Structure 1
Amino acid sequence: MCGICCVVTFGSQCAVHDFLSQDILCCLKRRGPDSSQQLIKSVSDLSYECLFSGHVLHMRGPVTPQPLEDANNNIFLWNGEIFNGVHVGELENDTQVMLQHLALCSSEVDILSLFSSLQGPWAFIYYQASKHSLWFGRDYFGRRSLLWQFSNEVNSTFCLTSVAGYSASGNQWQEVPASGIFKIDLKACVTAKSLSLTWFPWKYSCTKQEVDEILTDVCDQVSKDLAKHVRLVMNESKLCLRAPVIPLNKTISEASGECQGTNISNNMHVVSVETLQRFLAEEQKKKLVHQFIDVLSEAVKRRVLSLIRAQGQKTREAPSMSNKKAHVAVLFSGGIDSMVIAALADKHVPLEEPIDLLNVAFMMKEQAKQKGTTRRHTSHEVQPDLLCPQESCQDLDAKTSAHLSCFDVPDRITGRAGLKELEAISPSRIWNFVEINVTLEELKNMRHQRINHLIYPLDTVLDDSIGCAIWFASRGAGFLSNQGELKPYKSPAKVVLTGIGADEQLAGYSRHRVCFKRYGLEGLNKELEMELDRISSRNLGRDDRIIGDHGKEARFPFLDEDVVSFLSSLPISDKAELTLPRGIGEKLILRLAAKELGLAASTIVPKRAMQFGSRIAKLESNSEKASDTCIRLKSFSVDEL
């Protein structure tokens, strides 16, 4: 993973590097701590200048500093991972491989064909010297962040970067839409004295009329968010990238809407592991579940093995467990998504290597912690409504087996239970359950210093809650419990696996039940289709900026192209059964997979959003809605940037 940036100036009196702020540079360097360098390309006869800034997190093959320049003066910045589609040898670096392939492209069709073939997350910037063209874009799901900014002055500056922040100039940053890739003809911009973006969109194999309607809608949507002097135009030949996944199967069978398990009875509406077992008694259902396990397991395998390891750590043999460090971590709540990812990671990560389970908790008010529960530990009375200091909570945990703690949030409790299940199915593995405890004071400080700039340009209460939770979790700084004693620990893992994408495809959110009740399976299908369409703008760019800030790389197994295509091929009735209660019906196929992997109680844990499970939601305000603009993200002066 990398931090990439490009600044283009047209006839400016200022040097191009003056347009790259030190704050953005610092953010980029945190994303790519292993190599940093810059390259300036001046084309005096056309009066444009480009600055390319690359910051590398070394993950695969030899360390390859960026930007890369080839013999033909083409320049390449790459923030991605190739997991399939283009061959990358074990001793090769995918940045170098991509530039070699691009150098062989003689037409726009060749470039589009190359990017259409890729499987994996990516964002890129490519300067094609012979044609004075600047290409850039994000993958189909937008799993890597890329922002753009246009100056208010016509034909002045244009910037692309992985991460930015509020701009003192008043020129706001926006996420580059993951709706295709873009090209700027720099020579034409100089001649016309205006900025024009040529768009090459993604498309499925559908009819020409359907394609034209889709492209028109998307083009209008993208155009309305651009500066007035910036034009977005469809490429003249109407060339498109081939979507890497198949369209959603919206088939609704006559039997859909009824419980499809064997021996249907009222017992099916009881939330129990036995309910799942009755589904698995059906041969066809069990076969389908194992197909899902196979494709998801392969996705996890690609993501845990495609990274640099020390010699001797490439097999499942376990000659020595001592002094081995974790290379892979999981954002871990003990819920069904993270449990399945951890169980599958265990199948492929070398056995002598620990796996870090990152479990975040925000300090609860004592009154909230007791609400709706019976006080069991009267000898440890704490004054209601006061936040207990972090140190006293840890001392309390060390002195009592009762785990009375202001950090015993729901995700901590299910996380500990999930740890026991993982230890049961894989007792030879070292599972590092990292208890990451965040006080209100630290939350406020780090939001002010770092997190708000990473969440930007998103700005809702929900973005704040999830962004802060993911930032602290992926930092990995917490405690390991050893025989009741908490010891400080910071995860060294560069790869962070996250379960995002499961809810969006398998009807995991509460809004999916509301939609199903109102509009039936047809309405639910439309909702799920929309979920994947908007996941780039709602989640993935933000999460990439957040996790990348620690010099770590987010990897998303549920958004592997093969996984998405497999799930998209199934009718909704094979993936979820929302006539069944919470803890069973949502993400049913994933719960059945978990049962087949040997998991137990975690298979029926109901969906709980991270902001509620970690208890960050409502911590600072009880009156906010998730969609409200978050004042806390904007409570600082631009002079501080």
Structure 2
Amino acid sequence: MCGICCVVTLCSQLAIHDFLNEDILCHLRRRGPDSSQQLIKAVSDLSYECLFSGHVLRLRGLVTPQPLEDAKNNVFLWNGEIFNGVHVGDLENDTEVMFHHLASCSSEMDILSLLSSIRGPWSFIYYEAPRHSLWFGRDYFGRRSLLWQFSNEADNAFCLTSVSGYSKPGNQWQEVPASGIFKIDLKACATTKSLSLTLFPWMYSCTEKSVEETFINVIDQVSKDLPNHITLMVNKSKLWLRAPVIPLNKTVSETSGDCPDSNSSNINRVVSVETLQDFLAEEHKKTLACQFIDVLNEAVKRRVLCLFRAQDQVTRDIPSMSHTRAHVAVLFSGGIDSMVIAALADKHVPLEEPIDLLNVAFMMKEQAKHKGTTKRPTSHEVQLDLLCPQESCQDLDANTGAHLSCFDVPDRVTGRAGLKELEAINPSRTWNFVEINVTLEELKEMRKQRINYLIYPLDTVLDDSIGCAIWFASRGEGFISNQGELKPYKSPAKVVLTGIGADEQLAGYSRHRVCFRKDGLEGLNKELEMELGRISSRNLGRDDRIIGDHGKEARFPFLDEDVVSFLNSLPVSEKADLTLPRGIGEKLILRLAAKQLGLTASTVLPKRAVQFGSRIAKLESNSEKASDTCSRLKLLSVEEL
């Protein structure tokens, strides 16, 4: 995983460093702490200049400083993982392998064919020196962040970067659309003193009609967000990239049910693990569940084994724990998505290696009021209070009479229960359940200091809640239980597995039930197709920036190309049954797979979004809507500093 950046000026009078702020470099270095370097390519006779900046996090093979340059003066920046499609040996570095293949391409078609073949998340910047071409883009799902910013028309400069920073008023950063791959002819642009982009879109098929429609739709969609002085063109040869997944199966059979009203007995069924067992008694459903397990298992396997493991790294601060440090962590709520990922990771992570389960909780507002306001606690007192919450930070459960910590949020409760299920499946594994507790004061401080830059250019209340929760969770600083006693712990894992993509494909959100009640399965199909189509701009760039800020890499098993193709091949009625109640109907195929894997109570937990499960949504303002612009995410411009 890397932080990559490229600045291009088309005017020799401009200083290229004026367009690359030090704060951007600081953010990039946090993503790639193992190597940082820069390279400037100045083409004086054409009056353009390029600055390339690469910041590397070593995850496989030898440390390979970026940017890479070859004898032809080609330059390459790569932020990605090749899991399939192009062979990468166990001891090889995928950046070098990819650069070698790119440099061997002799035409646009060759480059597009190569990029179409890769399986895994990526963003890249490639300077093809002999043709004065700059190529860049993101993978089909947009699993790696890439932003762009264009100067005003007079300056004729632009910047590409994994993460942004302060900017001049009027120069807005935007995410590079994951609609396709872009190419800039720097020679032509330098000559005309104007900037134009050529787009090569992702497509499923190549009929003349579909090609024409796709080009028109994609050009219109991307153009509307570009500054007026930037031209976006279709490539003259009408070349395109082959989508790495198959199209969504929109088949709706007459027997698959239409709406809950037509089957009221289903919606009133008792939700229980036994219900899933009854479904698995049907041979067809059991077969589908097993096929899903097989393809998801391979996706998880690729993501936990494509990783450098040093033999001499041990956990010395807690000697009674496993002697090997964790290399893999899971964003863990105890819900069905994270439970299945953890259970499958257990099959492939070496047994002597712990797996870190990262569980985040924000201090509950009601108990926080009991703390009193006359004296602000010191940082030491807060740390002790997080470790051993005092009586003043506890409440009495009316039903059980037991004391509840102010961090016993829903995800903490289900997380602990999920830990017991995993320990039952494999008691020989060291499962580090990392309790990450966040106070309102720390939330405000870290949002202002770091998180707002990572969420940007997204800016809604929902982005704030999810972004902050993921940032604290993936940082991995909390407490783990060691022989019954809580000890401070910071997860050393560089790979963080997340369950994003499951809800979008398997009708996991409450809005999917609303859509189903209104428009039946046909409407649900359209909604699911839209969900996956917008996941790059809605979630993945943000989550990559958030997790990458800790020098860690986000990996998304549910968005593995083989997993998506398998799920796309099934009619929606095989993946979910929204005539059934919550806890069963949504993500039904995943629940059946979980039961088949040996999981128990977690298989019937209803969907609970992280902003509610962690209680961050209740911490600051109860009157906001998720889609509102979040005033707390305001970024300062250079002039305001």
The TM-score normalised by the length of structure 1 is 0.93
- The one-letter code sitting in structure 2 at the alignment partner of 1:273 is V
Displacement of 1:211: 3.0
SS in 2 for 1:58: coil
* Partners of 1:306 and 1:404 in 2: CA distance: 41
Q: Does 1:297 align with 2:302?
A: no
SS in 1 for 2:346: helix
Alpha-carbon contact 1:155-1:194 (below 8 Å) kept: no
Displacement of 1:640: 6.6
Displacement of 1:285: 0.9
Aligned identity (percent) is: 81
Alpha-carbon contact 1:366-1:387 (below 8 Å) kept: no
SS in 2 for 1:413: helix
* Partners of 2:607 and 2:308 in 1: CA distance: 34
Alpha-carbon contact 2:266-2:580 (below 8 Å) kept: no
Alpha-carbon contact 1:155-1:190 (below 8 Å) kept: no
Q: Does 1:394 align with 2:381?
A: no
Specify the alignment match of 1:282 in structure 2. Answer: 282
Displacement of 1:76: 0.2
Alignment CA distance shift 1:382-1:170 (3 Å): closer
Displacement of 1:393: 5.0
Alignment CA distance shift 1:106-1:281 (3 Å): same
Alpha-carbon contact 2:386-2:437 (below 8 Å) kept: no
* Partners of 2:267 and 2:148 in 1: CA distance: 54
SS in 2 for 1:608: coil
* Partners of 1:184 and 1:99 in 2: CA distance: 19
- The one-letter code sitting in structure 1 at the alignment partner of 2:430 is I
- The one-letter code sitting in structure 2 at the alignment partner of 1:366 is E
- The one-letter code sitting in structure 1 at the alignment partner of 2:565 is S
Alignment CA distance shift 1:435-1:524 (3 Å): same
- The one-letter code sitting in structure 2 at the alignment partner of 1:565 is S
Task: Tell me whether 148-157 or 589-598 shows the greater mean CA deviation.
Answer: 148-157
Specify the alignment match of 1:378 in structure 2. Answer: none
Consecutive unaligned residues in structure 1, runs of 5 or more: 314-319, 370-380
Specify the alignment match of 1:616 in structure 2. Answer: 616
Displacement of 1:205: 1.5
Deviation per CA, 1:143-190: give whole Å up to 9, x if none: 000000110134621110000034134311100000000000000001
SS in 1 for 2:622: coil
- The one-letter code sitting in structure 2 at the alignment partner of 1:391 is L
Alignment CA distance shift 1:421-1:640 (3 Å): farther
Displacement of 1:392: 3.1
Specify the alignment match of 2:541 in structure 1. Answer: 541
Specify the alignment match of 1:346 in structure 2. Answer: 346
Alpha-carbon contact 1:165-1:173 (below 8 Å) kept: no
* Partners of 2:140 and 2:325 in 1: CA distance: 33
Q: Does 1:18 align with 2:18?
A: yes
Alignment CA distance shift 1:173-1:637 (3 Å): closer
Alpha-carbon contact 1:507-1:576 (below 8 Å) kept: yes
Q: Does 1:244 align with 2:244?
A: yes
Displacement of 1:236: 0.4
Alpha-carbon contact 2:322-2:353 (below 8 Å) kept: no
Alpha-carbon contact 1:425-1:598 (below 8 Å) kept: yes
Q: Does 1:94 align with 2:87?
A: no
* Partners of 2:290 and 2:6 in 1: CA distance: 45
- The one-letter code sitting in structure 2 at the alignment partner of 1:564 is V
Deviation per CA, 1:288-312: give whole Å up to 9, x if none: 1100000000000000000101249
Alpha-carbon contact 1:305-1:348 (below 8 Å) kept: yes
Alpha-carbon contact 1:364-1:387 (below 8 Å) kept: no
Alpha-carbon contact 1:3-1:29 (below 8 Å) kept: yes
Alpha-carbon contact 1:356-1:434 (below 8 Å) kept: yes
* Partners of 2:181 and 2:637 in 1: CA distance: 34
Alignment CA distance shift 1:31-1:312 (3 Å): closer
Q: Does 1:463 align with 2:456?
A: no
Task: Tell me whether 628-637 or 401-410 shows the greater mean CA deviation.
Answer: 401-410
Specify the alignment match of 1:213 in structure 2. Answer: 213
* Partners of 2:506 and 2:403 in 1: CA distance: 34
Deviation per CA, 1:429-468: give whole Å up to 9, x if none: 0000000000000000000010000000000000000000
Specify the alignment match of 2:163 in structure 1. Answer: 163
Specify the alignment match of 1:143 in structure 2. Answer: 143
Q: Does 1:571 align with 2:564?
A: no
Alpha-carbon contact 2:389-2:406 (below 8 Å) kept: no
- The one-letter code sitting in structure 2 at the alignment partner of 1:587 is K
Specify the alignment match of 1:317 in structure 2. Answer: none
* Partners of 2:448 and 2:540 in 1: CA distance: 22
Consecutive unaligned residues in structure 2, runs of 5 or more: 314-319, 395-400
Alpha-carbon contact 1:151-1:157 (below 8 Å) kept: yes
Alpha-carbon contact 2:12-2:44 (below 8 Å) kept: no
Alpha-carbon contact 2:36-2:66 (below 8 Å) kept: yes
Specify the alignment match of 1:67 in structure 2. Answer: 67
Specify the alignment match of 1:374 in structure 2. Answer: none
SS in 2 for 1:617: helix
* Partners of 1:106 and 1:169 in 2: CA distance: 41
Deviation per CA, 1:14-58: give whole Å up to 9, x if none: 332232110000000000000000000010000001000000000
The TM-score normalised by the length of structure 2 is 0.93
Alignment CA distance shift 1:483-1:311 (3 Å): closer
* Partners of 2:222 and 2:481 in 1: CA distance: 49
* Partners of 1:554 and 1:46 in 2: CA distance: 40
* Partners of 1:65 and 1:382 in 2: CA distance: 50
Specify the alignment match of 2:561 in structure 1. Answer: 561
Q: Does 1:257 align with 2:250?
A: no
Displacement of 1:282: 0.4
Specify the alignment match of 1:269 in structure 2. Answer: 269
* Partners of 1:394 and 1:321 in 2: CA distance: 19
Alignment CA distance shift 1:397-1:600 (3 Å): farther
- The one-letter code sitting in structure 1 at the alignment partner of 2:385 is S
Specify the alignment match of 2:422 in structure 1. Answer: 422
Displacement of 1:486: 1.6
* Partners of 1:230 and 1:267 in 2: CA distance: 53
- The one-letter code sitting in structure 1 at the alignment partner of 2:128 is Q
Displacement of 1:622: 1.2
Alpha-carbon contact 1:448-1:636 (below 8 Å) kept: no
Q: What are the within-5 Å matches in structure 2 for residues 166-185 of structure 1? A: 166-185=166-185
Specify the alignment match of 1:377 in structure 2. Answer: none
Displacement of 1:323: 1.8
Alignment CA distance shift 1:387-1:338 (3 Å): farther
Alpha-carbon contact 1:162-1:545 (below 8 Å) kept: yes
Alignment CA distance shift 1:337-1:368 (3 Å): farther
* Partners of 1:59 and 1:396 in 2: CA distance: 38
Alpha-carbon contact 1:366-1:385 (below 8 Å) kept: no
Deviation per CA, 1:47-77: give whole Å up to 9, x if none: 0010000000000011100000011110000
SS in 1 for 2:389: helix
Specify the alignment match of 1:118 in structure 2. Answer: 118
Displacement of 1:511: 0.2
Specify the alignment match of 1:497 in structure 2. Answer: 497
Specify the alignment match of 2:30 in structure 1. Answer: 30
Alignment CA distance shift 1:385-1:276 (3 Å): farther
Alignment CA distance shift 1:440-1:265 (3 Å): closer
- The one-letter code sitting in structure 2 at the alignment partner of 1:417 is A
Task: Tell me whether 499-508 or 385-394 shows the greater mean CA deviation.
Answer: 385-394
* Partners of 1:637 and 1:258 in 2: CA distance: 52
